[in-house]
Amino acid sequence: MTEQSQKIALVTGASRGLGAAMAEGLGARGYHVIALARTVGGLEELDDRITAKGGSATLVPIDINDDDAMAQICHSIHERWGHVDLLVHAAIHAAPLAPMEHVDAKDLDKTLATNIRATARLILNTTPLLKASKAGQAVLFDDPEQGDKFHGAYGLSKAAQMRMASSWRDETAKTGITVHMLTPAPMPTATRGRFYPGEDRSKLTDCHAEAARLLDQLPL
């Protein structure tokens, strides 16, 4: 198999939580996983799990807010593989829950930058790669709790992200890209732990089980 004929999955937020579980599941399903995250140690552990199951991965320690680095990564993907078959956008910034009048300005800025602006730039950079696939697909994740009280900063950014995803889905309906907006069950992730520190995590869905359920919804 040549590199140009490999099935390629690009996964953001791949070092932990749902992103890591999705990357691991895709590796087991025959995809070469390009794993993006800021945490090098988490990426290396992911690589170990993927290769132990016979898969392969390329690790990219990166902050998705770095426009130049993200553009360069996508250019490098084009040069080496020529396409991306599946984009899984799991990277998220979640500020601590707080009443709107208590939202920290720096937390708000980072939330908007990561969840809205970086998502828009990711769409810009990956659309040509997905169009180059025979059947390019993109996955973004909805959160039904985004409108709850104290979720103001996170909620507004997540709502905007889903609106972008909806527009992208409609705009690409006839251009060879299928955009999915999936809703994961509550999982014991670091993000949820930040939101609900006293929650009984034993009642939450395992990330790997949820990733498998979500992947089963896609025509892979």
Given pLDDT bands bounded at 50, 70 and 90, which one contains residue 1? low
CB atoms within 10 A of CB 70: 22
The position carrying tokens 């939330």 is 111
Give per-residue pLDDT as tens, 71-121.
999 999 999 999 999 999 999 998 888 888 888 899 999 999 999 999 999
CB-based contacts of 173, cutoff 8 Å, min separation 6: none
Strand order in the sheet with 56-61: 56-61, 32-37, 8-12, 86-89, 136-141, 177-182
Is 183 exposed, middle or buried (CB count within 10 Å of its CB: 0-12, 13-18, 19+)? Answer: exposed
pTM of the predicted model as reported, rounded to 2 decimal places: 0.95
Is 88 exposed, middle or buried (CB count within 10 Å of its CB: 0-12, 13-18, 19+)? Answer: buried
Is 24 exposed, middle or buried (CB count within 10 Å of its CB: 0-12, 13-18, 19+)? Answer: buried
- Gap between the Cα atoms of 22 and 49, Å rounded: 12
How far from 68 is each of 72, 74, 80, 139, CA to CA, in Å? Answer: 6, 10, 18, 23
Given pLDDT bands bounded at 50, 70 and 90, which one contains residue 147? low
Domains of the chain: 3-215 (3.40.50.720)
Given pLDDT bands bounded at 50, 70 and 90, which one contains residue 150? confident
At 131, the amino acid letter reads K
- Strand-pairing partners, residue 63, are none
